[in-house]
Structure 1
Amino acid sequence: MVVSSAFLSSLLLAPCLAIAQSSTTASPASSTTAFASQFTLPASVDEGAPLLPTVNDPTAPDAQVKCPGYSASSVRTSSSGLTARLTLAGTACNVFGTDVQDLDLRVEYQTNSRLHINIRPSHVTAQNESWYLLSTEYVPAPSQESGQTTTSDLTFSWANTPGSGFGFNVTRNSTGEVLFSTSGTKLVFENQFIELVTHQEENYNLYGLGEVIHGLRLGNNLTRTIYAADVGDPIDYNLYGSHPFYLQTRYFEVGDDNSTTLVTEQLDPSNATGNYTSSTHGVYFRNAHGMEVLMRPTNVTWRTLGGSIDLYFFSGPTQPDVTHQYLDVIGMPALQSYWGFGFHQCRWGYQNWSVTEDVVNNYERFGIPLEVIWNDIDYMNQYRDFDNDPIRFNYSAGTAFLQRLHDRGQHYIPIIDSAIYVPSPDNASDAYQTFNDGNETGSFLLNPDGSLYIGAVWPGFTVFPDWLTTAAHAWWKNEMVTWHQKLPFDGAWIDMNEVSSFCVGSCGSGNLSLNPVHPPFALPGEPGNVIYDYPEGFNLTNATEAASASSASQSQAEATVTASSTTASVLTSSSSTSYLRTTPTPSQRNVNHPPYVINNVQGDLAVHAVSPNATHHNGILEYDVHNIWGHQILQATYAALLAAIPGKRPFIIGRSTFPSSGTLAGHWGGDNSAKFYYMYFSIPQALSFSLFGIPMFGVDTCGFNGNSDEELCNRWMQLSALFPFYRNHNTLSANPQEAYVWSSVIDATKAAMNVRFQLLPYLYTLFYNAHTQGDTVMRALAWEFPNDPSLADADRQFVLGPSILVTPVLTQGATTVDGVFPGLVEGTDVYYDWYNQTPVSVPSTKNTTIAAPLGHLPVYIRGGAVLATQQMAMTTRAARNTSWSLIVAPGVDGTASGSLYLDDGESLAPNATKIVTFAAEMGSLNVTVHGNYTGLDLPLANITIMGVPRAPPDNLVRINGQPVANSTYNATSMTLFIGGLEPVLGGKIWSANWSLS
């Protein structure tokens, strides 16, 4: 389409709500369909003012120097807390906003392990235009438990200090540790800037503060920006989710006289010796504004662009304790459907139902289990939510395909984007009922003048639901239910919910006659956007072909060197960037360009996002609630799926999350790349989400962006098999990477899936424990072994639950991997190789080398476990109908225990459940059964007992006193195998209590 310059000018001059930094980072999540005469938005629509983050600005004022702090007065104490008035202790500084003269302080001892501190402006309400206080309607905030007294393990103390004013300490009574201290620093509280500085010891250990691609331990030289952003997994920048929570562990060396000394250095696992103990606590800053946490060598500084100081402290003193205490505030994780733990396959580029079904059939052809097939936005009618392409993904063919899936025990999940297309008013054939229904009910965000806020996403100009209205929730539910009646999908994949927009401000206002418009960037696979991406380490695995490619690249480079040199000289001679710096206006807020500039990955807050001054129907600005938009669409989707599929647990995977999102959904790691280092980063990312209460986590296995290769996919398909959410997914322009593409990956995948399927009852039980009591599922070594400071930084291994140690290969070309077996050298723990069932030999050093040829994932059972397992099958439904086996892996004291949770695997409120507990010691195993669920009372096939020093006399084994003849003892592996048990117990293993001796 040829567009006049006059028209282009009108487009660029259309009403915009903000100006923002240029961004070339898009996060495409679907394929493109060619439409005739489609106008492409210019790249400039997603550009804005050049901004310099304040943390990088040498001219920025230091609030600790400029501001006066506050003074506390009118202090009133009670058995359950205190209240006070905080008054500005001098002349207002107004460095990044307007100082608040008077603040209210409220301290509550809410439980014996939880302390709540709230500081807010005096005489304001949650709906005051100048001050937004996060409503409990959107994010939970617990109240003080009735009858609570000062028996808390946490104590709040305060003082007015000359020169700095009001400061406070939070102390753990049982140990005397000061967990959080602002003493000697100044509290800064302005209408667009709040600062709280806390002291830290040297080399402190913080975990959490997500979402970020980073090692598990955050270190002391990192600025964590917390602002939901649509961006493809850059390292150390803000990503999709906002989780202002950290867990902190301190280690102490215990002397011979039982005195303790704080450990302030990182210890090497290979030479760490001594007697240590630890303590752990947690801190949650309940605030949805853009935020930064500055981790520096001696302090941690919290800065937020508005709201209040709403702090929760959790006394621990262990990681499990802190996690339980935190989840008591934000909510326990959802209990997932059993089928959700099967293997999931997706890619951007399954062009129609036939291609999608071919993928399903190929998995069956190669004998690889497949539980769920997904479609990216390829299926959509011109990228519109709740509307299938009538040719390629029509409803009649889709319903027939899904019926075939469901008959085989398989499932289907489509992507659902977060923006709604606005039809062209000049084209009657462009009608879109979903928009009409939402618009008529007032379900979309507005401009400040009350008109529709119209951004741009995949389909063109779009609007965005206003989740602060009940109308939007009702409209979304109706759309989901109506669509499900046409296509009986099984769950929802919520994408782009940061919320993302491809232009700055309301760029569609006045330009709707152009719709549908193309995004302001080329999509992968489009003509002229061919990407030649060789897999990582291609030169190592394909030397001849790599040399040829290198030669061609060199010739091309020589042909363009002159032009490149000319461009370079122009760039180097240009003047330095002139940054936009705004100054505070008394009693007013500049929400588009706050005076304090957070280190946002996209630069300006409105780039690739809905603008901060987009307005909700109740008058609240997006500036104040941006970080919870993603959480709220998950809330709406959960309710919608309950309505569409009554009585069944909603299965949702979402991209942008906030505290409490785990009560609704799982999360995938976003748009990673096909690189070995992203495979590594998947571990600390998963462990962090364990802390955030979102255990249903996985990443795009084999990588989303770029081309994977056989070795990387081999290793990654095995590693992800031990993650809760297990999905392979990649981008349109990349080569296919389904597990059946390479022969070695087929074998490696089956080997790892065999482990996964046997552990599915264990994994499901872990999720039940997470749902009912806040246990973590994937666990860091530091959490399971809290008295070993050498593990504080260990994030290349993990423990699944308490009993499964996983040590993956994370580097290309490696055939061994270094790892630790915590407690093995010290003699406190024993481990058994999953595959050959032999005890691991005690190494000479803690850090030892493990053989790991390609196709082998080192997995070990930690002693002290009893595991109930079932067999691998093509689906979880089939696997749940296989016979049971038991694995008994005694600890160093000869005992072992475990539990098993059973229900129908999908009901929101099961009619019947069962819990089985196991206790083994001194040559006996006792099984205790509670509950009345009978659906999995299947035969017991065999029992394997590891670490048996000698065979029982005459191999005599009894179950409920009756001899069992079919037992064999392997002296090499020290394993007793008892088989042929299908007839015992009447063929129903969980029908009653029983014992083995």
Structure 2
Amino acid sequence: MWFLLPYISLCLSLETYYSASNIIYSPSSISAILTFQGQSQPSTIHTLNLTILAESYTHARVRITDLNSTRWEVPDIILNPSSLILFSEANYSITLFENPFGLSIFRKSNNQLIFHIDPNVTFQYQNQDLIMTSLLDYPFYVYGFGERVSHFPLNPGIYTLFARGQPGPYDNGKPPGKNMYSSQPVYIAIDSLGNSHGGFLLNSNAMDVTIHNYSITYRPIGGIIDYFAFVGPKPEDVAKQYQKLVGLPVLIPYWTLGYHQSRWGYHNLSDLQNVVTNFNKYQIPLDVMWTDIDYMTNFEDFTLDPERYNYKNFSIFIENLHSANRKFVPICDAAIPIYDYPPYNLALEQNLFIGSPHHYGALIGKVWPGLAVFIDWFNPNATGYWHNMMISLRKLVDFDGFWIDMNDPSNFCEGECGYPASQFVKDLPYIPGYLSLNLLTIDLAATHIGGLIEFDVHNLYGFKMALASSKYFTDILKTRPFILSRSSFPGQGRFASKWLGDNFSLYDWMAYSIPGIFNFQIFGIPLIGADICGFSFDTTEDLCCRWYQLGTMYPFTRNHNSNNTIPQEPWAFGLLLLTVSNQAIRNKYSLMNYYYTHMFYLSIEGGTFFKPTFFEYPTDIRLQYDHAEKNFMVGPALLVHPALIRDLTVVEAYFPADIWYNWYTGKRITTPFNRTLTLDAPLNGTINIHIRGGQIVTKNDASTTANTVYDLRYGNITLVIAIDGEGLAKGSMILDDGVSLGTIENGNYTEIYYKYSEDGKVAYLDFFIKNSGYRKAQGEWPFVSTLVLYGCISPIRSVFNNQNQVDYSLAYNSRLQVATAKLLSIQPDSPYKLQINF
């Protein structure tokens, strides 16, 4: 009777259902014909083909398609389908119910149900209204299903997945229709014991997803059911299993982890020059300058306004940035203005625009420059055209990355300018979100090459634009791509990054950035952040201070705001913000090799970096909900407790059961029975970070003086060793050139694994070289300058390498139990076995 309560809102009259027949069981697949029984609707598809595939040890694939007609299926997402394995070798088992049709998938390792189409619950397959529910026999929390501003986990409710350019409505699923820039039909679920599973519906049509405590219901309005069930059993496992399916995160350029400055409202070259001058004046690190649409002539893509941005002087400005090891990134919007200039004329000649459903020729929308048209990315000539346009722009603006915006695609008219919504859109039997699907975008009846319609491919617009932009860097410039996109779809992380779009200068929205980033870590887009200090509304000094403390912990750290708001650069409010922002940026720079190393690992094996703490401690139920958004882990070692509420100077910090040390001082904390401590969080201070016992973190010595992350490459490394209860610790570091293609594939990197172990009054610190494919440039990362041991109960007496003593200065704080050893001539990427004597 476990199922009775969850079924109340899901039950179906058994007068209408599908039955399974012609069932064929093979060692790696199950197939069947599903036949509709009972009274049908005119749009009901009566005969379906069911295929269940054992694609890997950790995921099963369930495909349900129209047996007699071809329906839209999403291309280019699953690039390398796994060779089938045997069901007997997989960590899941399948049970098929025949009459009525139903399906169960169990995780073998603990016989737990992870996906279940119950025979007694609505299963519907109509032409433009599909319904599939997974109902389990236990309650679970749900995380994912983006993009939206919401909590982590999601509250029970209805959540719409449909790319729409509306900034930041808070979404609790009641009512639906609060969808934003991306469609990511991916989730991770976790039960009270910490067991996790996940699911991915490969479908690009608009859909609603209904979440209850026991169930998830999908309601797409087109396409097919192509579902992947992931067994976990840990949340980090699910993230990796999903990302290996759709493509591992792109290897980012090293410089993208630095500090970025942008705004809409740098109206001319002098504004940009003044910003850079002030960064130099106040000695604040700066890696990347950005421009919004200000630089264009009348907001027209691939132009530079010669009056406000003199061509020669602007070229000199960028040359000066590059000579200072800084980068430049401009914006590019999705729509091409209807104007007599090369980008429009060339695309028109090649018939590259999305077609109108109302008249012959291109669909006409409206964006910043006025009336505009939209590239049809499914046209095989679109990518070559786009590259030619990027080449022409780079002759004027020597950019290092590319920022693509409004690619939901956004439209200031509803559907097509001058026309009502097409009858096709009006006649839809179900509308996800209960709002017009033409709102803020182009008409879903618009046409693409090859007979495709916007109805099916709408959510892929940002994906295809990002892919074409990325290929310019990989194919033309032969370097790692840095593409920052507003819209996204599954698999996009393998070539592009993202930011959370237009947010608000409010404490709540600063806090919502944390679950927003969590979600995209799951989705496989780890280089992500929110606009520091907020984009819309005027920020305040205290909010900006708090946001710098938090935002410099994001993987992608950028200050950006709107043209109708007050300035919010680090010097905008005076000494307090200037001090806080500078120390926050330098705090991240001290961790730059740690950040880069673990982001590098994501490109090898997938997973998450800026993560919910329960991803590291999945059995701690209080981290799943009560404390899910109040703290986060950065990599496996660092636990962060931000200050997220106005006027508070302390945070109530929950700590999972483990050994924790204050990152800055090395003081070991002692928690009470509820594991919650009150930590000081002064507005003029640094964010609370604690390092986990058993971890070694590399710290960049040059962070106190660096102007860019490039400078960090020519500074020494400190190893911070947080000793666990057994006298052990481990860590690693990756070294490479930070920009080249093929680094992982060709092994052009060096990986060092550090292992610390105590044996009585002696400890050993081993440097294992796991890969040695990178030859450092002269002066790069010269030495390990210092060992800092947290939780050291005795002072260090000496440090030896073989028979040679290599310490030259020793210190010990008995109150904090922190030992420090300054070293001579120890290189971070050479094999050693250092003996530490106590």
- Report SS of the residue matched to 2:683: coil
Q: Match of 2:775?
A: 934
Q: Percent identity?
A: 31
1:841 counterpart = 2:674: no
* 1:993 Cα offset (Å): 3.4
Q: Which piece of structure 1 moves more, 660-669 or 847-856?
A: 847-856
2:74 counterpart (134, 137, 150): 134
**Partner in structure 2 of residue 563 of structure 1:** none
Whole-Å separation in 2 of the counterparts to 1:965 and 1:495: 54
Of 38, 63, 68 in structure 2, the residue corresponding to residue 118 of structure 1 is 63
One-letter amino acid of the structure 1 residue matched with residue 396 of structure 2: K
Whether 1:199 and 2:135 are equivalent positions in the alignment is yes
- Whole-Å separation in 2 of the counterparts to 1:814 and 1:866: 32
Alignment match of 1:685 (pick from 493, 497, 516): 516
Matched, 1:212 2:148: yes
Contact 1:638 1:650 (C-alpha < 8 Å) held by counterparts: yes
- Aligned mate of 2:378, from 446, 461, 468: 468
- Contact between 2:47 and 2:66, CA under 8 Å: does it hold in 1? yes
Match of 1:68 in 2: 16
CA contact (8 A) 2:379 2:449 kept: yes
TM-fit CA distance, 1:939: 2.3
The answer (yes or no) to whether the contact 2:524–2:607 under 8 Å persists in 1 is no
Match of 2:234 among 291, 315, 318: 318
CA distance in 2, matches of 1:297, 1:791: 17
Q: Sort the Cα spacing of 1:592 and 1:880 in 2 relative to 1 into closer, same or farther, 3 A.
A: farther
TM-aligned CA deviation for residue 201 of structure 1 = 5.0
Aligned with 2:569: secondary structure?
coil
What is the distance in 2 between the residues matched to 1:66 and 1:385? 56
What is the distance in 2 between the residues matched to 1:850 and 1:971?
22
Q: Distance between the aligned counterparts of 1:365 and 1:197, measured in 2?
A: 59
- Separation (CA, whole Å) in 2 of partners of 1:144 and 1:405: 45
Does residue 66 of structure 2 align to residue 156 of structure 1?
no
Aligned-partner residue type, residue 498 of structure 1: D
Residue in 1 aligned with 2:453?
621
1:452-483: CA deviations, max 9, x gaps? Answer: 11111111111101011111111001111121
Structure-1 separation of matches of 2:413 and 2:137: 44
The answer (yes or no) to whether the contact 2:77–2:490 under 8 Å persists in 1 is yes
What amino acid is aligned across from residue 216 of structure 1 in structure 2? Answer: F
Q: Which residue of 2 aligns with 1:47?
A: none
Provide the residue aligned with 2:184 in structure 1: 243
* Cα distance in structure 2, aligned partners of 1:312 and 1:386: 40
Give 1:995 shift. 2.2
Q: Distance in 2 between matches of 1:79 and 1:158?
A: 15
What is the CA–CA distance in structure 2 between the aligned matches of 1:159 and 1:85, rounded to whole Å?
Answer: 12
Change (3 A) 1:394 1:148: farther
Task: Indicate the residue corresponding to 1:531 in structure 2.
Answer: none
Q: How does 1:782-801 map to 2 (within 5 A)?
A: 782-793=614-625, 794-801=628-635
Secondary structure in structure 2 of the residue aligned to 1:610: coil
| 1:947 equivalent among 769, 791, 810 | 791
- Tell me by how many angstroms 1:670 deviates: 0.8
Asked whether the 8 Å contact 2:79–2:247 carries over to 1, the reply is no
Say if 1:799 and 1:67 are closer, same or farther in 2 by CA, change over 3 A.
farther
Q: Does 1:225 align with 2:55?
A: no
Q: 1:455 is matched with which residue?
A: 365
Q: Deviations over 1:31-80 (max 9, x none)?
A: xxxxxxxxxxxxxxxxxxxxxxxxxxxxxx99945971211111111000
Q: How does 1:563-582 map to 2 (within 5 A)?
A: none
Deviation at 1:965, TM superposition (A): 3.6
1:60-105 CA-partner distances (Å, limit 9, x unpaired): x9994597121111111100011111111112134xxx00011100
Q: What is the CA–CA distance in structure 2 between the aligned matches of 1:152 and 1:146, rounded to whole Å? A: 10
1:498 Cα deviation from its structure 2 partner: 0.4
What root-mean-square deviation, in Å, do the aligned CA atoms of Structure 1 and Structure 2 show? 1.9
- The AA in structure 2 aligned to 1:707 is D
Greater Cα shift, 437-446 or 930-939: 930-939
2:5 matched to which residue of 1? none
For the residue of structure 2 that corresponds to 1:752, the secondary structure is helix
Q: Distance in 2 between matches of 1:735 and 1:231?
A: 22
Shift in CA distance, 308/67, structure 1 to aligned 2, threshold 3 Å = farther
What is the CA–CA distance in structure 2 between the aligned matches of 1:842 and 1:758, rounded to whole Å? 27
Q: 1:508 to 1:434 in 2, by over 3 A?
A: farther
Higher strand share: 2
Give CA-to-partner distance per residue, 1:358-394, whole Å, 9 cap, x none.
Answer: 1111111111111111101000111111011111123
Q: Distance in 2 between matches of 1:803 and 1:144?
A: 33
How far, CA to CA, are the matches of 1:701 and 1:122 in structure 2? 51
Paired amino acid for 2:733? L
After TM superposition, give the deviation of residue 172 of structure 1 in Å.
Answer: 1.3
The structure-2 alpha-carbon separation of the partners of 1:419 and 1:925, relative to structure 1 and needing over 3 Å to count, comes to same
Q: CA offset at residue 768 of structure 1? A: 0.9
C-alpha distance in 2, partners of 1:148/1:360? 60
Q: What is the aligned counterpart of 2:741 among 908, 917, 928?
A: 908
CA contact (8 A) 1:67 1:92 kept: no
Q: State how far apart, in whole Å, the 2-side matches of 1:159 and 1:185 are.
A: 13
Deviation at 1:486? Answer: 2.4
Partner of 1:974: 817
Q: Distance in 2 between matches of 1:834 and 1:298?
A: 40
After superposition, the C-alpha distances for 1:227-256 in whole angstroms (9 at most, x for unaligned) are: 00101110112111111011111123xxxx
Q: Per the alignment, do residues 66 and 211 of structure 1 end up closer, same or farther by CA in structure 2, a change over 3 Å counting?
A: farther
Distance in 2 separating the partners of 1:318 and 1:670: 30
1:420-439 aligned within 5 A: 420-423=336-339, 431-439=340-348
Correspondence for 1:893: 726
Q: Tell which structure's C-alpha radius of gyration is larger.
A: 1
Counterpart in the other structure of 1:732? 563
In the TM superposition, what whole-angstrom CA distance separates every residue of 1:295-349 from its partner, at most 9, and x where no partner exists? Answer: 1344321100011010001111111221111111110001111110110011110
Q: Which of 330, 344, 347 is the aligned partner of 2:260?
A: 344
Instruction: Decide whether the 8 Å contact of 1:592 with 1:613 is kept in 2.
Output: no
Identify the residue that residue 189 of structure 1 maps to in structure 2.
125
Structure 1 residue aligned with 2:765: 925
The 3-state SS of whatever aligns with 2:279 is helix
Q: Quick check: 1:204–1:219 contact (8 Å CA) kept in 2?
A: no
Q: Equivalent residue for 2:3?
A: none
Report deviation, 1:811: 0.2
- Residue 49 of structure 2 is aligned with which of 78, 101, 104? 104
Give the match for residue 412 of structure 2.
Answer: 502
Question: Aligned equivalents of 1:234 and 1:66: distance in 2?
Answer: 39
Q: How does 1:681-760 map to 2 (within 5 A)?
A: 681-742=512-573, 743-760=575-592
SS for the counterpart of 1:412 is strand
Residue 879 of structure 1 and its aligned partner are, at CA, apart by 1.4
| Aligned position for 1:27 | none
Contact 1:289 1:307 in 2 (8 A): yes
Shift of residue 202 of structure 1?
6.1
Q: In the TM superposition, what are the counterparts of 1:496-895 in structure 2 within 5 Å?
A: 496-507=406-417, 590-599=424-433, 603-644=435-476, 646-742=477-573, 743-793=575-625, 794-823=628-657, 829-856=658-685, 857-870=687-700, 871-872=702-703, 873-895=706-728
Q: CA separation of 1:859/1:869 partners in 2, compared to 1, >3 Å: closer, same or farther?
A: same
Residue 326 of structure 1 aligns to a residue whose secondary structure is helix
TM-score by length of 1: 0.78
User: Displacement of 1:970 after TM fit?
Assistant: 1.2
Q: 1:388 is paired with a residue of what secondary structure?
A: coil
Helix, strand or coil for the counterpart of 1:618? helix
For residues 672 and 460 of structure 2, the distance between their equivalents in structure 1, rounded to whole angstroms, comes to 49
Structure 1 456/295 Cα, relative in aligned 2: closer, same or farther at 3 Å? same
Is the contact between residue 197 and residue 230 of structure 2 (CA under 8 Å) also seen in structure 1? yes
Deviation at 1:881, TM superposition (A): 0.9
Match of 2:772, as an amino acid?
A: G
> 1:398 and 1:363 mapped to 2: Cα distance?
18
Residue 405 of structure 1 deviates from its aligned partner by 0.3
TM-score by length of 2: 0.93
Please give the secondary structure, in 1, of the residue aligned with 2:195: strand
